[in-house]
């Protein structure tokens, strides 16, 4: 799972703004303070996150043994996602709409596992047990029990309501129609869905491939949705990853992929009157690219500066496409950035050439490069890339005075 980090980004697919029945009204300032102090104590210890996840799943499977079949064989990745999701919930306790939107999306998304509302309600007691057992450096009190019970009611109530009230399909089927190996470790995969998926440009989808059954990964479409159900994903192989090597190296035309409900929240607010700054690195350009293509179909748009980055020049694999988009859309400026000036010796890809008239390629970490131009405080800002890239870019922008309220990015879970 990946975590939304801004009030500016949409929380739910349009038309699906279920708010968990206003349950967050029970979380007053004193309750929020207790919850954050407790969770901070767990987060700050080396073993805390692992203990919390381990105790939760142990208690859940002890009380509901048949739930184990709903999860993948290896729980390592799942446990990490669980903790980071809970971390986000606690972080956004003072922003009910944002928190409940995130929980509702998770509730809908988990329908792909066969999870229904009653499954979430059964997780309430195991979660309370897990928090108690993981809190090794503080004293558990009755007031903490009350505070966590209130929050857990919000979590399971919101997720259960979202799962039970969603009338869209839990999954869609799509056929691979093209698999193009762009780099040794990067492929562009194009698919056609049996039924078009109602996602918005900038959102992402949960994907399962036949080579790795029961393992789901999140990918952002690099093109807007269309009535023909066509999709395009940019996939980079992660060293030691379970799924991405199969997507890059083993995918064949004709393969059937499963996709789940759209998630996330990156979008350009065309009514705000503000111009736009997009910062993408590697395959993280996909949701930004989809939004640009969507904007290109409209008559009027704000100005957009799109910094496209990567560690090596070869990582700017889609530069020609973006340049062509800028030629027919004068509101769009593309700025290429690479940390290194040359490709590594072991990389077989040729050096990409900047098209004539394109901004010259800049050098350095993309966050630092962008921050050299000022705070961009008058822009709507989106960042998309690896968790490390997002964090360093956030730090670089905030260090030059960029308001955090202006910045949005996809989840980090």
CATH number at residue 283: 3.40.50.80
DSSP assignment of 110-138 equals: GGGGT--HHHHHHTHHHHHHHHHHH--SS
Range of the domain at 252: 171-260
CA pair distance 342, 219, nearest whole angstrom? 28
Residue 411's pLDDT is what?
Answer: 65
Shared domain check, 95 and 40: yes
Shared domain check, 200 and 75: no
Instruction: Classify residue 269: in a domain, yes or no.
Output: no
Shared domain check, 161 and 32: yes
Task: Give percent of the chain with pLDDT exceeding 70.
Answer: 89
Shared domain check, 160 and 175: no
By the 8 A CB rule, do 350 and 319 touch? no
Shared domain check, 187 and 155: no
| Residue 275 confidence (pLDDT) above 80 | yes
For the chain, the domain total comes to: 3
Instruction: Classify residue 219: in a domain, yes or no.
Output: yes
CA pair distance 103, 100, nearest whole angstrom? 5
CA pair distance 398, 375, nearest whole angstrom? 8
User: Phi first, then psi: what are they for 210, rounded to 5°?
Assistant: -65, -25
Instruction: Classify residue 399: in a domain, yes or no.
Output: yes
| Residue 339 confidence (pLDDT) above 60 | yes
Instruction: Classify residue 267: in a domain, yes or no.
Output: no
Higher pLDDT among residues 404 and 279, named by residue: 279
CATH number at residue 224: 2.40.30.10
Higher pLDDT among residues 186 and 76, named by residue: 186
Shared domain check, 161 and 74: yes
Instruction: Classify residue 14: in a domain, yes or no.
Output: no
Shared domain check, 387 and 326: yes
CA pair distance 326, 318, nearest whole angstrom? 13
User: Phi first, then psi: what are they for 380, rounded to 5°?
Assistant: -80, 130
Instruction: Classify residue 3: in a domain, yes or no.
Output: no
Q: Which residues contact 315 (CB under 8 A, 6 or more apart)?
A: 183, 281, 282, 309, 338
pLDDT-derived band at 71, boundaries 50, 70, 90: confident
Average pLDDT over residues 245-265: 93
Four-point Cα dihedral 322, 245, 384, 254, nearest 10: 50
Shared domain check, 397 and 382: yes
Average pLDDT over residues 342-350: 75
CA distance to 38, 55, 170, 286, 311, per residue, from 355 (Å): 54, 55, 43, 20, 20
Shared domain check, 159 and 24: yes
Q: What is the largest CA-CA distance in the chain?
A: 68
Shared domain check, 287 and 234: no
* Of 8, 42, 29, 3, nearest in space to 379 by CA: 8
DSSP assignment of 172-218 equals: EEEEEEEEEEEETTEEEEEEEESS---PPTT-BEEEE-TTSTT--EE
Q: Read off the DSSP letter of residue 409.
A: E
By the 8 A CB rule, do 224 and 196 touch? no
Shared domain check, 302 and 211: no
| Residue 285 confidence (pLDDT) above 60 | yes
pTM of the model: 0.82
pLDDT digits (tens, 9 = 90+) for 198-219: 899 999 999 999 999 888 899 9
Last residue of a domain, one of 107, 132, 165: 165
Q: How many residues does the chain have?
A: 413
Shared domain check, 152 and 26: yes
Last residue of a domain, one of 165, 181, 207: 165
**Is 139 exposed, middle or buried, given 0-12, 13-18 or 19+ CB atoms closer than 10 A?**
exposed
Instruction: Classify residue 6: in a domain, yes or no.
Output: no
Last residue of a domain, one of 234, 260, 286: 260
CATH number at residue 101: 1.10.490.10
Instruction: Classify residue 370: in a domain, yes or no.
Output: yes
């Amino acid at each position: 799972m990946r975590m939304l980090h801004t009030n500016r980004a949409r929380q739910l697919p349009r038309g699906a703004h279920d708010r968990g029945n206003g349950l967050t009204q029970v979380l007053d300032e004193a309750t929020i303070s207790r919850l954050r102090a407790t969770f901070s104590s767990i987060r700050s210890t080396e073993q805390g996150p692992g203990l919390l996840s381990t105790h939760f799943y142990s208690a859940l499977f002890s009380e509901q043994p048949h739930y184990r079949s709903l999860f993948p064989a290896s729980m390592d990745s799942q446990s990490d996602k669980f903790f980071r999701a809970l971390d986000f919930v606690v972080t956004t306790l003072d922003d009910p709409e944002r928190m409940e939107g995130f929980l509702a999306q998770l509730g809908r998304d988990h329908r792909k596992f066969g999870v229904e509302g009653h499954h979430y309600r059964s997780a309430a007691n195991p979660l309370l047990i897990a928090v108690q057992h993981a809190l090794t450096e503080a004293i558990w009190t009755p007031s903490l029990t009350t505070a966590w019970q209130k929050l857990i009611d919000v979590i399971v109530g919101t997720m259960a309501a979202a799962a039970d009230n969603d009338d869209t399909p839990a999954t869609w089927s799509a056929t691979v129609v093209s698999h193009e190996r762009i780099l040794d470790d990067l492929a562009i995969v194009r698919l056609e869905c049996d039924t078009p998926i109602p996602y918005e440009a900038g959102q992402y989808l949960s994907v399962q491939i036949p080579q790795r059954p029961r393992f789901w990964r999140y990918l952002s479409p690099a093109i807007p949705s269309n009535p023909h159900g066509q999709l395009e994903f940019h996939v980079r192989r992660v060293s030691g990853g379970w799924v991405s090597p199969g997507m890059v190296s083993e995918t064949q035309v004709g393969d059937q992929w499963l996709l789940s409900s759209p998630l996330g929240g990156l979008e350009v607010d065309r009514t705000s009157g503000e111009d736009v700054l997009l910062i993408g690195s590697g395959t993280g350009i996909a949701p930004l690219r989809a939004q640009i293509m969507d904007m290109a179909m409209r008559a009027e748009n704000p100005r957009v500066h799109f910094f496209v980055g990567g560690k090596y020049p070869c990582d700017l694999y889609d530069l020609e496409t973006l340049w062509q988009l800028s030629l027919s859309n004068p509101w769009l400026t593309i700025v290429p950035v690479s940390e290194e000036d040359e490709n590594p010796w072991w990389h077989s890809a040729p050096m990409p050439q900047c098209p004539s008239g394109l901004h010259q390629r800049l050098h350095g970490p993309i966050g630092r490069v962008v921050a050299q131009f000022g705070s961009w405080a008058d822009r709507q800002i989106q960042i998309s890339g690896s968790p490390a890239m997002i964090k360093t870019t956030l730090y670089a922008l905030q260090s030059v005075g960029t308001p955090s309220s202006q910045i949005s990015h996809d989840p980090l879970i």
